[in-house]
Structure 1
Amino acid sequence: MRVQRTPWWYFPIAIIIGWFFGTVAVKTAEKSGVSLIGAPWTIPIALVIVGLVTFYLAWQVHQYVTANNDKRKSWFDPKRAVFALVQSKALGIAAALLAGWYLGQFVLLIAHVEAPYYRTIVIQCGVTGLVCLADMVVGIVGEWMCQLPPIDGPENPSAKRKCKKGNGLFQPATKERY
């Protein structure tokens, strides 16, 4: 399986998309009585927990990859590395979208900070936006930490050379064997 790193330009685009929808939510809340703005304090707490779990999983993969062959843990499963990578990718993009959403609200509502209702929302959106930016960085770093070294399988050029010399583990298929 070949997985590529998330291109850098996905993150600014996700922030811009989130920013657009965050400002639309503020404009909609100002024109109608429906309020989609702000964030309860459980959101940044949950985002911090998800970020810490993701970083821990990516750190485990990085520790496994950078260890010597003798010190590698036999219990480590490559599926865990894939899971950590997918979680890091998802966290990075989702956090970028949410950062745009909350920071877009923050910028539009900062002018109304003198009102107690908006002051609370501005503080909530600012804190949550910063937590989302931190989670985006955790996602990007987690992707980097989950890079596995290439495995010397039968399709690797060095394994093919060994196979031709006859001193490799992989024996070429010959007509005599079948």
Structure 2
Amino acid sequence: MKARRTPWWYYLVALVLGTVGGMLLAKYDEVTGLALLGVPWFVSALLLLIGVSVLVMAVQVHQYATTDPRKRAGMKPLDPQKAVSTLVLAKALGLVGAGLTGWYGGQILLSMAHMEAAYYEQAVIECGIACAVCVVDMVIGIVGEWLCQLPPMDGPESAKAKEAQRQRNIAPAAAKTRH
């Protein structure tokens, strides 16, 4: 399986789309009078818990992938499916973190004008905390994706492999000339 890093502009697009969506929700809330703004506190806690879980899994994948195979003898083998799932989770967390940052940020932008009302003040506080948690999740997703990278494989065509083969070919020839 070949996986590529998520391009930086995907995060930007998710952030912009989230911001537009959040602003539209805030405007709809203002026009209709429905209480749709804000986010329950447990959602922010849950988002943070998910981010920490993905980070822990990404660190485990990174530790296994960067450990010298000769030193892995004492380590528990890593399930390849877990490594791939961790990569997918990290990618998703980064993009969702960007989108939700925009979503809550858009709500904040349009609600700031009405801060004198208790409802809007509470919504801005809730969205501010959720926005901060989502930025953390986005960063964890980006870092987690980096942590899930495999080190480059030295195939037979690499410079390192060719040099090793050359050294192996020189050593027997040198041994024969000494006898």
TM range (shorter): 0.7 to 0.9
Q: Do residues 26 (structure 1) and 20 (structure 2) align?
A: no
Partner amino acid for 2:135?
A: L
**1:65, CA displacement in angstroms?**
1.7
Give the corresponding residue for 2:81.
79
RMSD over equivalenced CA pairs, Å = 2.3
- Counterpart mapping for 1:49-128 below 5 A: 49-72=49-72, 73-128=75-130
**1:141, CA displacement in angstroms?**
0.3
Q: Flag structure 1 segments of 5+ consecutive residues without an equivalent.
A: 162-166, 168-178
Give the corresponding residue for 2:12.
12
Listed one character per residue, the Cα deviations across residues 98-122 of structure 1 (whole Å, up to 9, x for unaligned) are 0000011111112212211111100
Q: Do residues 38 (structure 1) and 38 (structure 2) align?
A: yes
Q: 2 CA distance for matches of 1:33 and 1:118?
A: 12
Q: Do residues 2 (structure 1) and 2 (structure 2) align?
A: yes
TM-score, length basis structure 1: 0.83
Listed one character per residue, the Cα deviations across residues 73-117 of structure 1 (whole Å, up to 9, x for unaligned) are 242122221111000000000111100000111111122122111
Q: Flag structure 2 segments of 5+ consecutive residues without an equivalent.
A: 163-167, 169-179
Aligned residues of 2:66 and 2:150 also touching (Cα < 8 A): no
TM-score, length basis structure 2: 0.83
Listed one character per residue, the Cα deviations across residues 10-37 of structure 1 (whole Å, up to 9, x for unaligned) are 1111000000000000010111133331
Q: Which has the higher helix share?
A: 2
- Counterpart mapping for 1:152-171 below 5 A: 157=157
| Segment drifting more, 122-131 vs 35-44 | 35-44
Q: 2 CA distance for matches of 1:75 and 1:64?
A: 8
Aligned length: 163
Partner amino acid for 1:24?
A: L
Give the corresponding residue for 1:172.
none
Q: Secondary structure at the match of 2:8?
A: coil
Q: 1 CA distance for matches of 2:96 and 2:35?
A: 22
Partner amino acid for 2:6?
A: T
| Segment drifting more, 74-83 vs 136-145 | 74-83
**1:66, CA displacement in angstroms?**
2.0
Q: 2 CA distance for matches of 1:87 and 1:152?
A: 28
Larger Cα-atom Rg? 2
